[in-house]
Amino acid sequence: MNNVKPIAIIKTGSTFPQISEHYGDFDAWIHQGLGSTTGVMVIDADRRGRLPDLSALGGVVITGSHAMVTDQAPWMRQLMRWLYTLIHEALQVPVLGLCFGHQLLARTLGGEVADNPMGLEVGTVALRLTAAGRQDALLGAIAKHPWAQVVHRQSVLTPPPGATVLASNGHDACQAFRYGDRVWGVQFHPEFSADVMRAYLQALRGEGLTQQQVDSHLPEVRECDDASAILGRFARLSAVQVA
């Protein structure tokens, strides 16, 4: 009898309480995007618990966070060491970092992460896919409709050596990258619905956004179904069958 190895969702933080009360949290949105038939295990990275054995995993998704990669908290350094080992030793395990997870992967692999000189990027934004991005196993999902939900102050300013940039826009030269053929980082949030994105804009009123900015961003929010499809594609790539 065959079994599918689970995908580990490495939870690096939580959304605002007022958002989780109505919509749930990062790990629930990611699990929904991966699909109901995909087995998952959720690991709270910031509790400094034991990270899973590499041989037990079919894939890894690293969530977003309100923390900053540049803080280099002890739990972040522990997670980076684990990710470095995972990427270089568990050669068949796909990895996907979202927002903070994208930045943490880049830092782990030798890239530069810091405050974006242009400040906060938030809302539904247009992306530009590179030629490699249009052909990519994950990013190819958004080639026809390159829109995605974002909320971040820090960015990957310099991609890791050897990484392939898959998407950019006027705010970020590296909105997505691939390292090798099974490690991806995306600055955007494929797990965000339009309702969640609107809730983030409201939550940031007075906490980085003025009322005028919130009012200007809200009408631009739309569902980004193609971007959301990235999670389902990742689940299929991670469906490694073992005896």
The catalytic residue positions are 99, 189, 191
Q: Which amino acid is at 205?
A: R
Beta carbons of 67 and 13 less than 8 angstroms apart: yes
Q: How far is Cα of residue 157 from the mean position of the Cα atoms in its chain? A: 16
Long-range CB contact pairs, 72-80, < 8 A, 24+: 73/46, 74/48, 75/45, 75/46, 75/47, 75/48, 76/12, 76/45, 76/104, 78/45, 78/48, 78/51, 79/10, 79/12, 79/45, 79/51, 79/104, 80/104, 80/107, 80/108
Distance from C-alpha of 150 to C-alpha of 92, rounded to nearest angstrom = 29
Q: Compute φ and ψ for 21, nearest 5 degrees.
A: -60, -35
What residues contact residue 236 under an 8 Å CB cut-off, 6+ apart? none
